[in-house]
Amino acid sequence: MKLPMMLVVWFLFFAASSANAQEAFYKGKTVRLVVGFSAGGGFDVYSRAISRHIGKHLPGNPSVIVENMTGAGSLVAANHVFKVAKPDGLTIGNINGGIFMQQLLGWPGIEFDALKYEYIGVPVKDKSVCVMTKASGYTSFEKWMTSKVPLKLGATGPGSATHNVPLILKEALNLPIQLVSGYKGIADVRLAAESGELAGVCGWTWDSLKATWTGPLESGEAIVVLQTVSQPIAELPKIPLAISAAKTEESRQLIQAGIHDVSDLTYSYVLPPGTPKDRAEIVRKAFADTMKDAEFIADAKKSKLGVDPMTGDELEKTVNGLFKLAPGVVSKLKDVLK
């Protein structure tokens, strides 16, 4: 009986020592939350809400700041977190998980290995839509399908939902689309649409859209014309689903693999590879606790942000599953997204 009791005492002592060490490490430090997009967009709004609450769930209650690192649909930030940031638990990356598809498809510019990040979680599973301005004249999916000219849609960069979703829809549904890529963030796309430079955007998360383009949506100056989700969004019961318009099995597979299967990865939060496992687990737990924090939920609601999280474990499994897609589907996606 003595040996097991000694082991229990030793374990409790070790756990307490480890917790004290982590508290000592984080106390007085600053955690950087690196967002791969410009200020004012959905990624930025989510990260700023999280930054206001996650610190109290980390040992030592460090300060948390948001740093915007724009470029190539968050590829710049993804490469930075993977290659440059110290793996010490003080830098968290908020990147568009859609760029993991770039690695799968063998695109240039990838300096990370998606299978080696430490995954922290996702605050909301992506539910993306296509939204047009009333001024464009394309106020329904039917008007879009019958357009004689391609609609100019804005995108941040390759790998982002605003880039990949319209290209997949163009191929799968034969929609008239002219993609204008290279905007630093969704806020810049929004401004271009408001100025008449663009007709609209596809692949914009519904929760982000509600939070950052509230006025035009409520006034009818911005109109959701298509949903790129597997099931209708509760607030948009009469808006058609893209996959329902697919006429062939290949088209349905493209939408399923290229849009639906990667949608949960959109708002990915990661740590650099090599971050000590115990510290990664601490950040994971802090993130999960933040998602259940009543003050955070109230803050998110005030900002019109949905909260439908995935844990770090769930996110990691989803990423691993992406890299197990059938070769034929991967080959077709390469052709479409090249």
Residue 17 has pLDDT above 50, yes or no: no
pLDDT on residue 15: 45
Phi, psi of 210 (to 5 degrees): -60, -35
Identical fold at 26-125+265-330 and 128-262?
A: yes
Residue 19 has pLDDT above 60, yes or no: no
Residue 45 has pLDDT above 90, yes or no: yes
pLDDT on residue 117: 98
Residue 16 has pLDDT above 70, yes or no: no
Residue 4 has pLDDT above 70, yes or no: no
pLDDT on residue 157: 82
- 61-92, pLDDT tens digit by residue? 999 999 999 998 899 999 999 999 999 999 99
pLDDT on residue 14: 44
pLDDT > 90 in the chain, percent? 80
* Cα angle 63-68-70, degrees, rounded to a multiple of 5: 160
Q: Name which of 124-128, 187-191, 192-196, 198-202 the model is least confident about.
A: 124-128
The residue ranking higher by pLDDT, 8 or 166, is 166
pLDDT on residue 112: 98
Banded pLDDT at 9 (limits 50, 70, 90) = low
Give every CB contact of residue 205 below 8 A, 6+ residues apart in sequence.
Answer: 42, 124, 126, 127, 128, 129, 161, 266, 267
Average pLDDT over residues 37-57: 95
Please, what is the average pLDDT of the chain? Answer: 92
Banded pLDDT at 5 (limits 50, 70, 90) = low
Give the architecture (CATH level 2) of 128-262: 3-Layer(aba) Sandwich (3.40)
Give every CB contact of residue 211 below 8 A, 6+ residues apart in sequence.
Answer: 42, 45, 303, 304, 305
Name the token pair of 298: 């109230």
pLDDT on residue 6: 62
Q: Name which of 2-6, 56-60, 287-291 the model is least confident about.
A: 2-6
Residue 1 has pLDDT above 50, yes or no: no
User: Strands 128-133 and 200-205, how do they pair?
Assistant: antiparallel
- 315-331, pLDDT tens digit by residue? 999 999 999 988 999 99
Q: How many CB atoms lie within 10 A of CB 214?
A: 13
At the top level of CATH, the class of 26-125+265-330 is: alpha beta
Residue 207 has pLDDT above 90, yes or no: no
Residue 2 has pLDDT above 90, yes or no: no
Domain residue limits, the chain = 26-125+265-330, 128-262
